[in-house]
A and B are shown apart, each in its own frame.
Chain A
Amino acid sequence: MNRVLTLAAYNVRILLSERTWFILAWALFGLQIAVYGSLMSKLVSTTVPNYLFFYGVGLMVITVFDSGADVGRHFVEHAHEGELPYFLSLPVSRGGFLAAQAIYGVANTMIKVLPPLIGVLWFVGDLTIQGAVFALISMFLLGLGITGIMVSMSFIAFKSVDIYSAFLAGLSALIVRFSTVFYPLIFMPSFYSPISVFSPLTYGADLTRWVLGFDPNFLLNPILAAAVVTGVAVGTLSLSARIVDKVIEGVKAA
């Protein structure tokens, strides 16, 4: 366990050395909320009360998704910059290696999401420790699920980085656009809403909104949402652990 933490700490230190990216991410978040979110909120405020809040949570969920995708990219970069064989030669189990990646992912997500979360809750006048903690737990579970999906898919990159990049772009488009991050499910047209239920972001976004006290009439059943978010996290992490252990090899050499 000590070695897993050492490995994770090393990755997190790399993360912390990239402060500029975090500041840019927070600034972009603030800009998006202040300009786009405010305008959208005025447009739709007659049908969705407090749409700015709805939008803010959606944006945080997208940040969680991006952060999870970052872990997958980080993993693939390790492979293509030649670091993966080194990591795989270290005396940690493959599960421990994956755990270190997950810890890195969680740290990445928390750093990117926590300040915007506090900012949004403060801005809408709903900042409580309890709300922030439960929202973080919800997004943490979602982040683990996304990390699991991305690491599971990373074996594609061992065949071709181009295919992996194209696949990720397509997957992101589907998962984000066909989810409820920006629009409540009840307002979606019938041809669109069935697809939304296949996106884990739908459940993550609605669960986070529910724990923050958003009107449940606009949201999915929170028990169902919690079950799906937890199931996706456990399922995809188990799958990625299996893939790391059984499929991924660090280098091909002759």
Chain B
Amino acid sequence: MFAVETLNLSKRYGKTDALRGLNFTVNEGEIMVILGPNGSGKTTLLMILCTILKPSSGTAKVVGIDVVEEGTKVREVMGIAFQEARGFWRHKPSSILKFHASMFDIDPAKRQDLIERTMKDLELWESRDKMFMHLSGGQAKRLETAKVLIQQPKLAIFDEPTSQVDLRGKRKIWDKIRELRDQGSTVIVATNEVREAEYLADRVTILHQGQRVVCDTIPKLKDAIAGGDIVEVDFEDPVSGKLVKDLNGLGGDVSLSSEGNQLRAKVSRAEDWVPKMTSASYVAGAKIASIRITEPSLDDVFLHFTGKALAGQP
């Protein structure tokens, strides 16, 4: 059974299609990162999964429970940290967390300890008696994350969990999200931050214009790009035409260019191509001075699959 499964899921706002027949699955116990620019349908998908929005058509299930038919049961097993921190403006973080804990039946005997520990972990303890409206944007986001952490739900959803959070805070939140996964929760993180995706993801789903473009692990997504890995080889002598011809004859999807002593190759899997290249160079008597391999970024992956750059999307 999947932790999350959607089938032909669509959501329409007036004349705008936010989701268009989305088929999407998340395995139990993994961190699935949904990557996409603003307006790609990430938040709409999450809102449907946590029963706040209703799909226009199609189905969505959370741990096998239909989000439309049995919304209350779904809400019992999931927790969400919203993109915009939702607070009770005149309440203190500690009382907000106490209320949240009581709504999710967290053992009253353990409640206080859990809240204190989580607030300290997320560096909120010093602000426990401030009113919500006096928290900084980053603190409010951390409080949003804290709600889900104290809850330890079967399905934890984080919508852009580290926007407005400083670099140190980001790392803390990411580590806590991983910890949550290690404790058995299934986690969905929606983001348009490539670093966040690379740090957290067991698998990545790329959404574009309300549709799933691709879903896989990050290494496989990068490998799926023809010419995705770039190998730069410096030889001790100028690269000969014969060597280029020999290397072209190694097979696989490869694009070579050379200038002086340097050879530049775009290959699908550098780890497969480099050993063959070094053997062929040895046979050809070309001595290698150095090899540099660079991987494509998730930006490149996104560009490859959607034809558009992730950064700078409206």
Contacts and interface: CB of A to CB of B under 8 A. Distances in A.
Given A83-B87, A85-B82, A85-B86, A254 B52 contact: no
A8 to B, nearest CB: 12
Contacts of A239: none
Q: Which of B13, B47, B76 has the most CB of A within 10 A?
A: B47
B60 to A, nearest CB: 14
Interface in B41-72: 41, 43-44, 47, 50-54, 71-72
Chain A interface residue bracket vs B: 20 to 34
A90 B39 CA distance: 26
A197 to B, nearest CB: 38
B90 interface: yes
Interface stretch (B24-32, B98-106, B227-235, B302-310): B98-106
B103 A85 contact: no
Given A6-B103, A254-B16, A249 B43 contact: no
Contact of A90 (B13, B40, B103): B103
A17 B131 CA distance: 14
Contacts of B76: 91
Contacts, number: 74
Nearest to B16: A254
B182 interface: no
Nearest to B83: A253
B104 A249 contact: no
A89 B52 contact: yes
A253 B39 CA distance: 8
Contact of A82 (B18, B39, B84): B84
A99 interface: no
Nearest to B78: A89
**Helix, strand, loop or mixed for chain A's interface?**
loop
**Helix, strand, loop or mixed for chain B's interface?**
loop
B103 A251 contact: no
Contacts of B84: 82
B91 to A, nearest CB: 8
B88 A83 contact: yes
Contacts of B86: 82-83, 85-86
A251 B102 contact: no
Interface string A213-252: 0000000000000000000000000000000000001111
A81 B41 CA distance: 22
Interface in A1-23: 3, 6-7, 10, 14, 17
A99 B87 CA distance: 21
Interface in A70-95: 81-83, 85-86, 88-94
A249 B83 CA distance: 16
A88 B99 contact: no
Interface string B3-33: 0000000000100101000000000000000
B199 interface: no
Contact of A91 (B53, B72, B82): B72
B75 interface: yes
Contacts of B52: 85, 88-89, 249-251
Nearest to B157: A89
A251 B53 contact: yes
B114 interface: no
Nearest to B45: A253
Given A14-B88, A249-B54, A254-B39, A90 B44 contact: no
A253 B99 contact: no
6 contacts: A6-B99, A82-B87, A91-B75, A91-B76, A249-B47, A252-B13
4 cross-chain pairs, A with B, having the tightest CB-CB distances, nearest first: A253-B43, A250-B52, A86-B86, A91-B75
Given A85-B47, A253-B44, 18 more contacts: A3-B103, A6-B102, A6-B103, A7-B103, A14-B90, A81-B89, A82-B87, A83-B86, A85-B52, A85-B82, A85-B86, A86-B82, A89-B50, A91-B75, A93-B72, A94-B71, A252-B13, A254-B40
